[in-house]
Amino acid sequence: MAVWALGLNHHTAPLDVRGRFAFTLDQIPPALRRLRAALTRQPEAALLSTCNRTELYCASDEPLIEPSARWLADTAGVAPEVLLRHAYVLREDEAARHAFRVASGLDSMVLGEAQILGQMKDAVRAADEAGALGTTLHQLFQRSFAIAKQVRSSTDIGAHSISMAAAAVRLAAQLFEDLRTIRILFIGAGEMIELAATHFAAQQPRHMAVANRTLERGEKLAARFCAEVMRLADVPERLHEFDAVVSCTASTLPLIGLGMVESALRQRRHRPMFMVDLAVPRDIEAEVKALEDVYLYTVDDLAAVVQAGKDSRLAAVAQAEAIIDAGVQSFMHWLRQRDPQAGVVALIRDLQAQADVWRAGEIARARRLLARGESVDAALEALARGLTQKMLHGALAELHSGDEASRRHTAEMVARLFLRGRAPARSSDAASRSGTHA
């Protein structure tokens, strides 16, 4: 089976580009069904989409990277070259390594954050719901979850981790003298807003309100924090009442525009407003950032704040990477066991690549000899001798190592590989002769 990952994230693409490729959780199952219907061979597929990344994981009997990239670009309404300008394509062991690092929080904007693991589990459930999750991807993701658990339990990767929500509180504290005097509006009622509300509530602000498209869900979140609940449609008329706004919804279009904020500022007599847009795509129009009395931060703007304390976790990163390396080897071993021929094909490819390296090196050496004035015969002799030594070095070294039984086994193998067509010699004689000619 070919396994690959195609994606873009906060390392490779700016916020507005990521927004073009964002999927809500309920959009993922139908999207995966469309993907599989669009390709000639229906691959196993899973789609992970968060504010920091959109990644497509696939497995098939042959790699379908180009058509899957074309499908993702078409879905976002962009040309494939626009996607590929910001995307990464990872295959086989590198795809597995990436999945394990993502699940473990090593590829997150907030190093070691745990939220991504839950988001990945949601993505896997959505793929299963779409009927797109086969044996290979099931194994890949179950191993991802197990490795993430091991990383979190046996390293300090999550220690002193600063979340986006905590970073927002820090920035608000820099603007307002006392957070207990401010009024805060939360737009949305999802996990990110719940986390942000938890952090701000700890500062005991003067007033908190929750606006959500579904009033029932907004009421449930508001009740946790003794906050006011309001309809999303009331935000334009009441925006001026709030000193801070934190928004994170699944809307595909901005909910708060430039004109709405300008009107609010006039009613506030230009008292400053602190705004955090955690949504991808944006909830707040980018032009709002240019207003003199507005301090608008997006998920990308928070990056510098959440990096605080990263140096103290670098030792834990090294431990986590070692756990992931072992996990990758185990997964690839499992994959090869399912298809023994794949391991043979990979070995043949590696042997051919190594032979190409040797050939290129000896040709370059022969050309240098000719350039120095050596004869053609001398250059050819050196080339042949160099290639022969490189080809035989590993076999001769093995004949000299190990105990008698292993040397006998190696001698028989070497004879089969290099002495075909000749009368077979006794393995002990072959082993002893290797010492003479080495």
Instruction: Exactly one of 51, 58, 226, 248 is catalytic; name it.
Output: 51
Nearest to 278 by CA among 295, 261, 260, 297: 297
**CA distance linking residue 203 with residue 224, whole number of Å:** 15
Q: What percent of the chain stands above pLDDT 70?
A: 91
| Residue 396 pLDDT greater than 60, yes or no | yes
Is 226 an annotated catalytic residue? Answer: no
Global pTM value: 0.66
**CA distance linking residue 127 with residue 132, whole number of Å:** 5
pLDDT, residue 422, reads 64
pLDDT, residue 434, reads 46
Average pLDDT of span 43-64: 91
| DSSP helix/strand/coil, 115 | helix
| Residue 340 pLDDT greater than 70, yes or no | no
Question: Residue 195 is encoded by which pair of tokens?
Answer: 């986390």
pLDDT in tens, 56-74: 999 998 888 899 999 999 9
Nearest to 98 by CA among 63, 38, 53, 161: 53
pLDDT, residue 341, reads 62
